[in-house]
Amino acid sequence: MLEPARAQYGLEVWTVDNGMPENEIRGITQTPDGYLWIATFNGLARFDGVHLTLFNRGTAGLLSNQFGTMLQGKAGDLWLDSVDRGIVRYHDGVFRVYGRQYGVPADIINGLTGDDHGDVWVLSGNRIVRWDEALKHFVDIAPQSPSLRYRSLLWDSVGFWVHDHEKVRCFTHGNFVDFTLPKQIVEDVLWGAALDQSGTLWIETVDGKRVRITADNVSHTIAPKSTREVTIGTTYDKSLVMHVGPRLQRTFDFVSSNRVVSVTPWHFYEDRQGNLWIGTQEEGLYRLQKQLIRSYTREQGLIDRDTYATYQDRSGAVWVGAWHLGLSRFADGRFTSYTMTDGLPDELVTALFEDRDGRFWVGTHGGLSIFDHGRFRVPSGPILPSEAVVQAICQDRQGTLWFGTRQGLARYENGGTRFLTQKDGLAANDTHAILETSNGDLWVGGYGGLTRIRNGKFTRWTENDGLPSDNIWSFYEDNDGVLWIGTYEGGLVRYKDGKFISYSVKDGLFDNGVFRVLEDAHGYFWISCSRGVYRVSKHDLNAFAAGTLKKVASTAYGKIDGMLDIECNGGVDPSGIKTRDGKLWFPTRDGVVIIDPESVVHDSVPPLVMIESSLVDNVSTPVSAPLRIPPGRPDVEINYTAPNFINAAQTHFKYRLEGLDTDWVDAGGRRIAYYSHLPPGDYVFHLIAGNSDGVWNQEGKALAITVLTPFYETRWFQMLVLLTLGALVAMAWRYRVSQLEQAQAAQQAFSRQLIASQEAERKRIAAEMHDSLGQRLVVIKNLALILLRAKKSAPADDSDTQTMAEISDEASSAIAETRDISYNLRPFQLDRLGLTKAIEAMVRTTGIASGIRFTSELDNIDDVFPEDLRINFYRIVQESLGNIMKHAQATEVNVRIKRRIENVMLTIEDNGRGFTPDERSPLSSRSGFGLTGMGERARLLGGELKVRSTPGKGATVLFEIPLRQKQSG
């Protein structure tokens, strides 16, 4: 019969082999940020549950590796006794050594202790001094009392002690406590002293006698030499005991996974998650947690270790089938084994089932058998061929028995058996699981796919139809009628309303193996796989299926939780059961494991999140302040963690770099974020974490990051470049404008010179024609008139008279034309009468010559223009009137010259047919310039010529000459 259940503890051990600086642990404490700190004689370690970070004399502020004691002061400060280098304080992330200048009596530190309020006392130079935060100095607590040779109490550094005549005086938790010595040892030399959790003082003499004095100082016990006494050990579990042997050495015994473990503790510490940490003298650091899984294997009475099919019958007995040696039955706290000597056809058990008639069926490699009155018998009648290996048994609501074999599905009713195979519609012959659901459907799974039989109709699914795997190993139907399908390596499948939803590791499952699904009373699925047992919330699975949850959370259980071997077995039916008391049984490679879901503590505390360090282009950069990163698109690595000591490896992280990431990055258990070639800008790194129970710290931590902009990308540099470019453009523009102005000036000078030369040449020609040619023609005419008069006074030939008359007429015509040409080349009125009269005469003459009605309003402008430029204004008017005569077909023309203070405005309007101003080709004049010439003359005068015209509505010539600009110029 099994012994009464005794609490068992899972353990993990850290030694120098897996990162601890030394195996002798001198101190343990947990700071408010969640880290566990471990002091050794070879350095200090900080632990987050996964990684150990070491601090030693290579760390800034530390002058020694040797620490004798460590405790936690106020605000989470660490205080360490560095033996020969004074007292070390870790405050705000900085180590600092305190020596004589801070009130420490001597260089050698003999002890360090504290209280629950964070006060710190140091034993040095036979004096006890207390740290005064206000003074930033150590103060002697009893400066007037004589110096006594105190020593440190053993066991957990709870204070100091001294042998003072008939008593032992202890200083513990900030108080002096006196213990009266038994008379038998008053004169003995004391070797050491210790205080246990109950306040009892333990004393040992040099010659080996041990004495216990109770906290009330009333009773004492003297133990013989070399005996091992028992004391209640820790506040972690009052039932735990320790043995105290010679030299007050403690031995702590506990049971872990059915075996007794003994350790020699130096220091105990219980963290905020309920873990018990044990610092040993030479075996490293232990972590203990109560095991919620109990294992039964051969040592507890199982017939073999390698177990498979598991079943509970109506009597409450649990049957466990072994793979090689037979069958075990667990009832009344003991195992009973059955083999072939008890009637089993074979000792390799593959299936267990109890039908409605109470017959208990066992499938083996040798065929079927039924348990009957303590023995097994082969059922009457040939139900299955001898080579058929039954791996699953089911009975439907009509009472028909279904046997799943490697060769197909056997249907047994009314004493007859019918085999169904792939030819009949099965997805696979090799059958591993059978289930009749609440609606009467029969589901069959195995190596090859999934089959549903409904009213005799077969429907099958394989990977080609969307299943994640063709290897179906288990079925479970919940109270809502949802079918859950377990696969060997494809994860979990949910079937509801004709729709399959798959879950795998990428969706949050701990493993893709789903050998068996069992549901507890709190809505959690417990799933077995080759890596252990894991738990997942059915609510989360349904939320994932509904699309309201992106990822589910899984909690895995393994050796530290009590499993002897984490590899579970499956592929036979049933490969796990939920017994009537709510416990869950799963077969493994080393016995069966039993889980009581009611004993599982839900971790409802979100993990603390810490951003530890960063590397910028492989150079360590502090993260205590916003991170400023030099330009150059660097590579950034951010190291983070969440101190957690229960299922630490299952802590999940998400992070997002605000300003770059559009969504959270699911990092899983990874504790490093990488960003390559960050562009310049301001960012915020956000980090959140969730524990193995899916409780998330949504607030998390944030780190501001600024990637500095290269000088050539800064705004000021860009503005400078823009200004420089602007200046260069302006210089280029001004240079170009200057060139254009010079070219224009040259062009204007050329035009002025050309026009001036033209006018001068016209003036010369006009003068010569008038003064020379005109005079000669006058002489010719006059001679002709003289001859003509002479002919009249004397008879002559009529033909000569007629000839002379013709000569006179032609001479008169030549004179008139010469005068016209001369006038057009250079109007004499301009020189004789002035510009205004010349224009008035030209308007009058043009009106007479053209028959067009001209009206004019002319202000006097004789003194407006220099003498050499008046001709240009005159020509503009002349050209405009000539164009009207030739092309406008106008009947009325109005010419106005208005002289104002600031300008002179010439306006010539007609009511002719008009034209498009851009079509300048037809508007030419005798001058040869047309509108182009007019515009050039206008520019020479410093004005602007505008022509406005619309076809059919006449034309207007506007010429404005600014007088002030002209005068200033």
Question: What is the phi/psi pair of residue 521, to 5°?
Answer: -75, -10
Strand 619-621 relative to strand 318-322, pairing: unpaired
Q: Which of 618, 621, 529, 542 is nearest to 575 (CA)?
A: 529
Evaluate if residue 538 carries a pLDDT over 90: yes
pLDDT single digits (tens) 418-430: 999 999 999 999 9
Q: 3-state DSSP: the chain helix, strand, coil percent, rounded to 5?
A: 20, 40, 40
What's the whole-number mean pLDDT along residues 290-305? 93
Higher pLDDT, 865 or 457: 457
Tell me if 630 sits within 8 A of 678, measured CB to CB.
no
Q: How many CB atoms lie within 10 A of CB 20?
A: 22
pLDDT single digits (tens) 549-592: 999 999 999 999 999 999 999 999 999 999 999 999 999 999 99
Alpha-carbon torsion, ordered 422, 427, 432, 438, to 10 deg: -110
For residue 968, the model assigns a pLDDT of 41
For residue 826, the model assigns a pLDDT of 60
Evaluate if residue 451 carries a pLDDT over 70: yes
| Bridge partners (DSSP) listed for residue 30 | 36
For residue 886, the model assigns a pLDDT of 83
Q: Which of 160-164, 761-765, 840-844 has the weakest average pLDDT?
A: 761-765
Chain mean pLDDT for the chain: 87
Q: Which of 134-138, 155-159, 699-703, 704-708 has the weakest average pLDDT?
A: 155-159
For residue 693, the model assigns a pLDDT of 87
3-state secondary structure of 821: helix
| Bridge partners (DSSP) listed for residue 172 | 159, 175
Evaluate if residue 468 carries a pLDDT over 90: yes
> What end-to-end distance do the CA atoms of the chain give, in Å?
128
Amino acid identity, residue 942? Answer: G
For residue 717, the model assigns a pLDDT of 78
Q: How many CB atoms lie within 10 A of CB 329?
A: 19
Residue 739 exposed, middle or buried by CB count within 10 Å (0-12, 13-18, 19+): exposed
pLDDT single digits (tens) 64-98: 889 989 999 999 999 999 877 789 999 999 999 99
Rounded CA-CA distance 681/833 in Å is 81
Evaluate if residue 368 carries a pLDDT over 70: yes
pLDDT single digits (tens) 325-354: 999 999 999 999 999 999 999 999 999 999
Tell me if 331 sits within 8 A of 318, measured CB to CB.
yes
For residue 144, the model assigns a pLDDT of 86
Q: Tokens 């290579």 identify what position?
A: 58
For residue 810, the model assigns a pLDDT of 67
pLDDT range class, residue 878, cuts 50, 70, 90: confident
Higher pLDDT, 180 or 241: 180
Higher pLDDT, 235 or 53: 53
Evaluate if residue 897 carries a pLDDT over 60: yes
Evaluate if residue 921 carries a pLDDT over 50: no
For residue 896, the model assigns a pLDDT of 93
Q: How many CB atoms lie within 10 A of CB 5?
A: 8
**Most confidently predicted of 104-108, 490-494, 897-901:** 490-494
For residue 749, the model assigns a pLDDT of 65
pLDDT single digits (tens) 376-389: 999 887 788 878 89
pLDDT range class, residue 632, cuts 50, 70, 90: confident
For residue 966, the model assigns a pLDDT of 43
For residue 817, the model assigns a pLDDT of 62
Evaluate if residue 246 carries a pLDDT over 90: no
For residue 750, the model assigns a pLDDT of 62
Strands annotated E in 143-199? 151-152, 159-164, 167-172, 175-180, 190-195
- Vertex 347 angle, CA 344 and 353, to 5°: 65
Tell me the two tokens of residue 686.
């956000």
3-state secondary structure of 240: coil
What's the whole-number mean pLDDT along residues 94-109? 92
Rounded CA-CA distance 913/955 in Å is 8
Evaluate if residue 205 carries a pLDDT over 60: yes
Q: Which of 81-85, 760-764, 890-894 has the weakest average pLDDT?
A: 760-764
Evaluate if residue 231 carries a pLDDT over 70: no
Evaluate if residue 918 carries a pLDDT over 60: no
3-state secondary structure of 829: helix
Strands annotated E in 347-477? 349-354, 360-364, 367-372, 375-377, 390-395, 401-405, 409-413, 416-420, 431-436, 442-446, 449-454, 457-461, 472-477
pLDDT single digits (tens) 764-789: 565 555 555 555 556 666 666 666 66
What's the whole-number mean pLDDT along residues 217-242? 66
Higher pLDDT, 716 or 750: 716
- Vertex 311 angle, CA 310 and 312, to 5°: 140
